[in-house]
Amino acid sequence: MSVPSASYSVTMRVTLENHSRIGAVTTAVGDAGGAVTALDVVDPNGSGMTIDLTCNAVDEGHSELLRAAVEVVDGARVIAMSDRTFLLHLGGTISVEPKVALKTRDDLSMAYTPGVARISMAIAKDPSAARKLTIKRNTVAVVTDGSAVLGLGNIGPEAALPVMEGKALLFKRFAGIDAWPVCLATQDVDEIVRIVQCIAPVYGGINLEDISAPRCFEIERRLRELLDIPVFHDDQHGTAIVVFAALLNALRVVGKELKDVRVVVLGVGAAGVAISKLLLKEGVGDVIGINRGGIISPSDERLDTERRWLASHTNKEKRTGSLSDAMAGADVFIGVSGSNLVSEDHLKSMAPHSIVFALANPDPEVDPVVARRYAAVVATGRSDEPNQINNVLVFPGIFRGMLNAGAKQVTEEIEVAAGRAIADVVTPGELSADYIVPTVFNPLVVTAVTNAVERLVGQTH
């Protein structure tokens, strides 16, 4: 599955004794498994030259192999190499910029003291005015404790910060929302709930991110009870919504109805539980959840409250055993677990016209090339494969809609509306086995989700 990626993009400054060596250098990179993406002439110095060669590698070790491959070329010498991803993150990826100019004393007296005192007094008389007169109306806190960051695990708040910056960047890029990372140096549930409760007056919404299960369930539940602004754990609900959207369209491709299919969910963590609950709400035929111990059972005392509830409301046939027992005859497989857990025998045992969503990143539960030999529709979380299941399709629009409408809670109805809006962006003429969800850069997505959420919130107010 490993292919060259911009995530491991490097630029090498290379001196060449002769112009004719350019072809040899690019060939050397290709032969070493890299992908040349740019070549810029820095200094055409007579018969020789200096070039900047940008190429994608598979990982950090591969970058060094590419450098070594260029060094072997006769007449070529690498004098410097830079990692473009690290360069992009120097000093962080977001910043705060003023919305008003401060050019005169009048500007200063209105934006700050003494004029700002009038704004403060207006809010003191009517706290709801903060939404109109401050950043609250367009600001989201991206809150994490660093306990479940991407596929990296419990790496702590400092290491989580670049990821939360990236999340804030996506909020701004796709929905014009000002978001700010809040990385907490505690993993105590009570402390996290209290801290978020205390900072909530600044924000119009709370996006919980990369908090491990089962603590994430309790944190979200308690904050939703305490706060009058939307609280949304993206790892749960963002994933569930985009999976729901993709499944709606995949079922249209294969000609099946949600009520008639049996879905196997491998990995009953935050995402797996949320996916299962949303599908159950929308009337799926059945769900079978599987964790490391096999098919989950309500009699398993090791299960927490959320997973025990799930076990009690799924698996109508009361199947027991391993993944093989669950996959036999299944219409849909949804993996939110780890790499290389699904075999060809598992895929062969599924029902005709099956659907496989292998969403583990960076390496999915099964190689999509293999999965496509047996399944009618295949999706992954990867950007280099068709049908990328990506939360970016969800959270910008759902928060944009809730902020615009002044929503106080995230409801299952909002989640369903968002999922259906995403699915409907793909027109009947566009729908195919290789195109069941729009791309993250499709400008129609945020607008469609925003409008759907605003309409729903407006109907309930």
**pLDDT at residue number 305:** 87
Correct CATH for 136-229 of 3.40.50.720, 3.40.50.10380, 1.10.10.10, 3.90.190.20: 3.40.50.10380
Which fold does the domain 236-461 belong to in CATH?
A: Rossmann fold (3.40.50)
Q: DSSP string spanning 291-332?
A: ETTEE--TT-TTS-HHHHHHHHTS-TT---SSHHHHHTT-SE
Domains in the chain: boundaries: 5-89, 136-229, 236-461
Q: Cα–chain-centroid distance for residue 389?
A: 8
Split at pLDDT 50, 70, 90, the class of 301 is: confident
Nearest to 89 by CA among 7, 211, 209: 7
**pLDDT at residue number 35:** 95
Q: Which residues pair with 291 in a beta bridge?
A: 294
Phi first, then psi, for residue 286 (nearest 5°) are -165, 160
Region 374-393: mean pLDDT is: 94
Lowest mean pLDDT among 28-42, 52-66, 195-209, 295-309: 295-309
**398-448: pLDDT as tens digits:** 999 999 999 999 999 999 999 999 999 999 999 999 999 999 999 999 999
> Is the pLDDT reported for residue 460 higher than 80?
no
Which fold does the domain 5-89 belong to in CATH?
A: Alpha-Beta Plaits (3.30.70)
How far apart are the C-alpha atoms of 67 and 82, rounded to whole Å? Answer: 11
**pLDDT at residue number 152:** 86
In angstroms, the first-to-last Cα distance of the chain is: 49
Q: Which residues pair with 55 in a beta bridge?
A: 10, 36
Question: One-letter amino acid identity for 114?
Answer: P
Nearest to 113 by CA among 102, 125, 124: 102
Q: How distant, in Å, are the alpha carbons of 131, 200, 267, 334, 407 from that of 227? A: 14, 8, 30, 33, 12
**345-359: pLDDT as tens digits:** 999 999 999 999 999
Angle of helix 60-72 versus helix 22-31 axis, rounded to 10: 140
How far apart are the C-alpha atoms of 362 and 371, rounded to whole Å? Answer: 16
Region 361-373: mean pLDDT is: 92
How far apart are the C-alpha atoms of 390 and 388, rounded to whole Å? Answer: 6
Region 270-275: mean pLDDT is: 94
Mean pLDDT (the chain) is 95
> Is the pLDDT reported for residue 461 higher than 80?
no
Region 316-322: mean pLDDT is: 94
**pLDDT at residue number 315:** 94
Q: Name the catalytic one among 8, 136, 167, 203.
A: 167
The yes-or-no answer on residue 167 being catalytic is yes
**pLDDT at residue number 302:** 87
88 by Cβ neighbours in 10 Å (0-12 / 13-18 / 19+) ranks as: exposed
Q: Which residues pair with 453 in a beta bridge?
A: none
Q: Name the catalytic one among 112, 172, 316, 348.
A: 112
Can 5-89 and 136-229 be said to share one CATH topology?
no
The yes-or-no answer on residue 8 being catalytic is no
pTM of the model: 0.91
Percent of the chain with pLDDT over 90: 89
Identify the DSSP state of 375.
Answer: -
Split at pLDDT 50, 70, 90, the class of 384 is: confident
Q: How distant, in Å, are the alpha carbons of 97, 103, 104, 203 from that of 100? A: 9, 9, 12, 20
> Is the pLDDT reported for residue 51 higher than 80?
yes
Nearest to 238 by CA among 457, 435, 421, 418: 418
**124-154: pLDDT as tens digits:** 999 999 999 999 999 999 999 999 998 789 9
**214-234: pLDDT as tens digits:** 999 999 999 999 999 999 999
Split at pLDDT 50, 70, 90, the class of 1 is: low
Question: One-letter amino acid identity for 70?
Answer: V
